[in-house]
């Protein structure tokens, strides 16, 4: 199928897109920043820039997965912030539905995000339960109202009411893990409020199932079958990390710090997953302990990027294994210079010494080629340098008469948890800038020589 995905650069989208690609679907992403999306998306796909209500899609779309929406937990809900949260969901969905209303090609399936914040609290809701009156409930209610207008176009429509999404390098755990790793975690209030959660891999799995199974329709709660209290969540997370959790946060403090936004932390919601269970979905992480273990066992961060070029694999592989080309692929602000290479072209065991500047600070770096399969992949690992850990795998695949270049970087910053808290956002932005520069150079080199 040709699948249009909005919100693909978000936490859920980055897990979902590789699953769709593995299934052989052709993916088209609609984004407000096409340039940034090139290095934020984990797969190579078509990117269309979305400017307000101006949408132009040449492809005949079979399904839409609508995950668009500003982060609701990134700060106080000021009037301006609330308008942004509301418009990014309701107006965007309205414009998208109206676009396809005028499109002659029939869409088979429409899947949208929503949230369990739609329900009145603190009841134990299923999909037929009454909606609440708070801001988040209105956002979700109006969002679903726009979403289900797709049914008027004879499109099978699904709205997943999503609980707290757990996963590594994003979502709620991105904020919680540093606090708990430092031993500063604790219950929120008395800890008795219920938390309905789902692992990001199961949420992505549900979306894939909904694409393929026509029994999925209407509003569906996307939550684990085993909700927990905040007290149980706190004790499980602290036990998994082997850290104390003795610093409870009174509800009044959260209200003082976050205002109305604090309701997403304080409200109790024990949401039913009966429809998902009746549809036969098998959760990969049904229990909180297994979900948190897989999250806490991961260290460092991951950057995955793909780029397709219209050149034969042997030519592309030869270029990337010539160390002299490293300087061409590195932006000038890094002042990158190769000092020594023990073999050229590179092979397993090759050592590369170079100098560069990171935000003006001179750095010496040595990498070792730790794996080398001709025409397939090679890996380099930092042996000396600024990172606590750095491992970069370069892979090459023949695809569509050209070559798909895939990079996977695993890295960990120095300074333990404080290092992550204070500098990771800055380092991540720098890495994305570097990879974006590299993409532009590769495109210029390999696309310009397409007819050579």
- DSSP 3-state of 246: coil
Q: Tell me, what's the pLDDT at 451?
A: 46
Percent of the chain with pLDDT over 70: 98
**Residue 73: its pLDDT value, please?**
80
Residues 279, 399, single domain; the answer is: no
Query: Which of 52, 4, 56 shows the shortest CA–CA distance to 29?
Result: 4
Last residue of a domain, one of 289, 319, 337: 289
Question: Which CATH number does the domain housing residue 209 bear?
Answer: 3.40.50.720
* 106 & 131 share domain: yes
User: Are residue 351 and residue 280 in the same domain, yes or no?
Assistant: no
pLDDT value for 205: 98
End-to-end CA distance of the chain: 34
pLDDT in tens, 230-241: 999 999 999 999
Mean pLDDT of 401-413: 96
Distance CA 378, CA 374 (A): 8
Q: Is 281 exposed, middle or buried (0-12, 13-18, 19+ CB in 10 A)?
A: buried
In 10 A of CB 246, how many CB atoms? 11
Verify that 306 and 284 share a domain, yes or no. Answer: no
Higher pLDDT among residues 46 and 50, named by residue? 46
Give the pLDDT of residue 449. Answer: 52
Question: Bigger pLDDT: 216 or 169?
Answer: 216
Is the sign of the CA dihedral 105, 108, 113, 116 positive or negative? positive
Residue 235 lies in a domain: no
- Domain assignment present for residue 171? The answer is no
CA trace torsion 25, 28, 33, 35 (10° rounding): 80
Mean pLDDT of the chain: 93
Write down the pLDDT at residue 97.
94
Residues 276 and 336 in one domain: no
pTM for this prediction:
0.94
Let me know if residue 180 belongs to a domain.
no
Per-residue model confidence (pLDDT) at position 53: 64
DSSP H helical segments within 55-147, as ranges?
79-101, 135-147
In a domain, 262, yes or no: no
Question: Is residue 452 predicted with pLDDT exceeding 50?
Answer: no
One domain for residues 325 and 280: no
- Kindly state whether residues 343 and 272 are assigned to the same domain: no
Per the DSSP assignment, residues forming a β-bridge with 115 are: 162
Q: Is the pLDDT of residue 128 over 60?
A: yes
Distance (Å) of CA 200 to CA 114, 207, 282, 283, 451: 15, 11, 14, 11, 43
| Mean per-residue pLDDT, 255-281 | 89
> Is the predicted pLDDT of residue 446 greater than 50, yes or no?
yes
Clarify whether residues 356 and 422 are in a common domain: yes
| Element holding 314 (H helix, E strand) | helix 313-320
Cα radius of gyration (the chain)? 24
Confidence of residue 123 (pLDDT cuts 50, 70, 90): low
- 37 vs 58, residue with greater confidence: 37
Is 179 inside any structural domain? no
Average of per-residue pLDDT across 284-299: 95
Total count of domains within the chain: 2
Over range 271-293, report the average pLDDT.
Answer: 96
pLDDT at 122: 67
Q: Same domain for 332 and 277?
A: no
- Asked if residue 379 and residue 273 are part of one domain, the reply reads no
Three-state DSSP at 311 gives: coil
CATH number at residue 328: 3.30.530.20
Q: Which two tokens stand for residue 197?
A: 């959660």
Residue 247 falls inside a structural domain? no
The residues, ordered by sequence, that sit 6+ positions from 404 with a Cβ below 8 Å of its Cβ are: 44, 306, 307, 308, 396, 397, 398
pLDDT attached to residue 200: 97
Do 285 and 305 belong together in one domain?
no
In this predicted structure, the answer to whether residue 27 has a pLDDT above a threshold of 60 is: yes
Tallying the residues shown for the chain, one arrives at: 452
Whether 25 shows a pLDDT value over 90: the answer reads: yes
- The domain of 313 spans 301-448
Q: Are residues 156 and 68 in the same domain?
A: yes
């Amino acid at each position: 199928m040709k699948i249009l995905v909005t919100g693909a650069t978000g936490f859920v989208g980055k897990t979902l897109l590789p699953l769709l690609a593995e299934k052989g679907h052709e993916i088209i992403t609609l984004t407000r920043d096409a340039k940034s999306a090139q290095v934020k998306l984990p797969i190579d796909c078509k990117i269309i820039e979305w400017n307000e209500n101006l949408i132009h899609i040449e492809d005949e779309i079979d399904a839409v997965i609508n995950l668009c929406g500003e982060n609701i937990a990134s700060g106080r809900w000021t009037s301006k912030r609330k308008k942004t949260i509301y418009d990014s969901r309701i107006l965007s969905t309205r414009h998208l539905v109206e676009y396809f209303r005028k499109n002659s090609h029939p869409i088979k399936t429409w899947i949208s995000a929503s949230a369990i914040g739609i329900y009145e609290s603190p009841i134990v809701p299923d999909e037929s339960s009454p909606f609440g009156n708070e801001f988040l409930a209105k956002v979700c209610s109006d969002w679903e109202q726009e979403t289900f207008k797709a049914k008027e176009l004879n499109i099978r429509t699904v709205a997943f009411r999503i609980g707290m999404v757990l996963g590594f390098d994003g979502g709620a755990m991105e904020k919680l893990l540093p606090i708990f790793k430092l031993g500063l975690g604790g219950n929120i209030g008395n800890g008795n409020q219920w938390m309905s959660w789902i692992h990001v891999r199961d949420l992505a799995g549900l979306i894939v199932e909904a694409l393929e199974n026509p029994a999925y329709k209407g509003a569906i709660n996307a939550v684990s079958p085993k909700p927990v209290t905040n007290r149980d969540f706190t004790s499980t997370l602290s036990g998994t990390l082997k850290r104390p959790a003795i610093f409870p946060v009174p509800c009044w403090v959260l209200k003082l710090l976050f205002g109305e936004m604090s309701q997403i932390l304080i409200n109790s919601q024990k949401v039913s997953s009966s429809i998902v269970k009746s549809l036969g979905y098998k959760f990969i992480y049904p229990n909180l302990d297994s979900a948190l273990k897989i999250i806490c066992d991961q260290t460092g961060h991951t950057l995955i990027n793909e780029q397709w070029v219209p050149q034969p694999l042997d030519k592309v592989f030869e270029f990337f294994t010539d160390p002299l080309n490293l300087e061409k692929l590195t932006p000038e602000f890094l002042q990158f210079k190769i000092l020594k290479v023990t073999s050229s072209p590179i092979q397993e065991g090759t050592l590369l010494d170079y100098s560069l500047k990171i935000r003006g600070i001179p750095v010496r770096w040595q990498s070792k080629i730790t794996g080398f399969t001709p025409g397939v992949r090679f890996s380099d690992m930092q042996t000396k340098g600024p990172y606590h850990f750095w491992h970069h795998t370069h892979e090459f695949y023949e695809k569509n008469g050209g070559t798909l270049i895939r990079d996977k970087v695993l890295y960990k910053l120095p300074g333990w948890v404080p290092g992550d808290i204070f500098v990771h956002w800055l380092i991540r932005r720098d890495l994305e800038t570097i990879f974006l520069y590299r993409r532009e150079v590769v495109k210029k080199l390999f696309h310009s020589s397409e007819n050579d």
